[in-house]
Amino acid sequence: MAIQLKAKDHDLGGLTVKRVLPNQHKRMVGPFIFFDQMGPSTFHAGQGINVRPHPHIGLSTLTYLFEGSILHRDSLGNNLEIHPGDVNWMTSGKGIVHSERESFEVRANPHSISGLQCWVALPEAMAEIEPSFTHVNKQQLPNYLHQGVMKRLVVGEAYGMNSPVKTYWPMFFLDVIAEKGETITPPNPNQETAVMIIYGEVKINGITYIADEFVLLEPGDDLIEVSQNSRFILLGGDKFEQVPFLFWNFVAFDQQRIEQAKDDWNNGRFPTIPDDNKEFIPL
């Protein structure tokens, strides 16, 4: 039977997020080791998201918005806004630094933000690769439209579609909109799968789930029934047999690697962001 994983509220640079992963009942879903729901939140003019420069190792970050925009800068020199439906995929590998703020135009006016941020653990053999960053516009993502169902494949492989985002582990992340009365089968039955309901109502094995609920599917949960017009995220992938260590923004399979990253950040050995190097988040 499906298991609902409860979220906890956290403050992230002026924005309250609901954090589902890691969870006391489930550390990871496939390679997903961290899952935050941002907003929906509304800001007055002059206020907004302000996440100062901070480091990562051993993971890829996925940012996917439903509303609003975020200005991404990183130590590779990338400087761009992400908008709803687009994908920011940043692979930290051996080490990267980035900030998440807002453009002048956004901060100058009342605005809203709503979206998801996930961390995807890199497999041990890939944990120390060179850092990279990919931005993919929504028009470049595979889409499926049939009768009352729309599916957008954001990352990975599912339903015969392949995302252009380069990943390092078998996985999927799908955005689904479905009309009342439709049914959806999980894309890859042999992979761990979770459902995050954005709005509406779905039934899994006769149990009803509503907006903001995160549900981990179990063997036998092979049908999602749409009770109301709904939007939900399907995510998952092959199970990690070994769960890596997670400390702050660092993921590693060796605790000593975490200690090294902590020391590197404390002593200024991470690269800096070319146009955003006046402040940082302390360890």
- Taking only the tens of pLDDT, the chain with its 283 residues reads 899 999 998 876 567 889 999 999 999 999 999 999 998 999 999 999 999 999 999 999 999 999 999 999 999 999 999 999 999 999 999 999 999 999 999 999 999 999 999 999 999 999 999 999 999 999 999 999 999 999 999 999 999 999 999 999 999 999 999 999 999 999 998 999 999 999 999 999 999 999 999 999 999 999 999 999 999 999 999 999 999 999 999 999 999 999 999 999 999 999 999 999 999 999 9
Q: Which domain does 214 fall in, by range?
A: 3-237
* Tokens coding 129: 């690769």
Residue 139 domain-assigned (yes or no)? yes
Torsion angle, alpha carbons of 39, 162, 75, 113, to 10: -10
In a domain, 14, yes or no: yes
Number of folded domains in the chain? 1
What is the model's pTM? 0.96
In a domain, 250, yes or no: no
The tokens of 251 are what?
């993921």
How many Cβ atoms sit within 10 Å of the Cβ of residue 236? 27
CATH code: domain of residue 130? 2.60.120.10
Position 267 in a domain? no
